Amino acid sequence: MKPRIIFVIGTDTGVGKTVFTGLLLHHLQQQKVKVGVIKPFCSGGRDDAIQLADVLGAPELLDEINPFHFDVPATPLVAARAEGRVVPLRQCVSLLQEAAGRCDTLLVEGAGGLLSPLGADYSAIDLIRETEAETVLVAPNRIGVLNHVLLNLNVLNHAGRMPGSVVLMDQRQADYSAETNSQLLHEAWPQVRFIEAPFLTGEPLSKGARKESYTNFKKTLATVMGRP
């Protein structure tokens, strides 16, 4: 059976991709799925990949989970150039395919947004297209998100990789738009699930908080995986 590849992409950096990916990883582990995870690119630190390795229960696999990492806190193309390095599209695609071959479901966490340049001639949309990955779009449920989500959906639709789900991450302090964002997006793209996810405090992927985070997020994760 062909492995399932789920690519988690955000409308921007810092919108909750790692939290969502980590909790989805934990969810699939609880369902006894043979699951793997990879965050191909990290710039300016590897904290996100370290958290994912911890959830996987395999900190020794950090370099497999995050094969390309750079010290400069910039988009991966810029960070790689600053270090005199080149990561070709074919090399990255091959690593994703190899990782997928070791499990039944592979979670891939993107870096930055859908069109953030990862290499000289590619971005996350190219990785999604080349690997035929399913996509989950993560966005903050706040004012301004409508434009960001709609732009991303137009790009994904053009590439033939429309997401089954868009996860709107609730914020610490909800603004007025949070009450209407999901409905307006559903009116524009009725074939897509728009799911509001609860705000999680502290460090939700830490060992001490993970159980409570998962309890609060379980309904969201089940809906994304196709069980409302």
Convert the pLDDT of each residue in 191-214 to its tens digit.
999 999 999 999 999 999 999 999
49 three-class SS: helix
Whether the per-residue pLDDT at 76 is higher than 90: the answer is: yes
CA distance 76 to 114: 13
pLDDT at 226: 85
Q: Which residues pair with 167 in a beta bridge?
A: 138, 195
SS3 category, 139: strand
- Spell out the domain ranges in the chain: 4-224
Number of Cα atoms under 13 Å in the Cβ half of residue 225: 19
- pLDDT surpassing 70 at residue 97: yes
Concerning whether 39 is annotated as a catalytic residue, the answer is yes
pLDDT at 33 over 90: yes
Which of the residues 39, 207, 211, 219 is marked catalytic?
Answer: 39
Each residue's pLDDT tens digit, 112-169 = 899 999 999 999 999 999 999 999 999 999 999 999 999 999 999 999 999 989 999 9
Taking the C-alpha atoms of residue 70 and residue 199, their distance in angstroms, rounded to an integer, is 30
Q: pLDDT for 35-62, tens place per residue?
A: 999 999 999 999 999 999 999 999 999 9
CATH superfamily of 4-224: P-loop containing nucleotide triphosphate hydrolases (3.40.50.300)
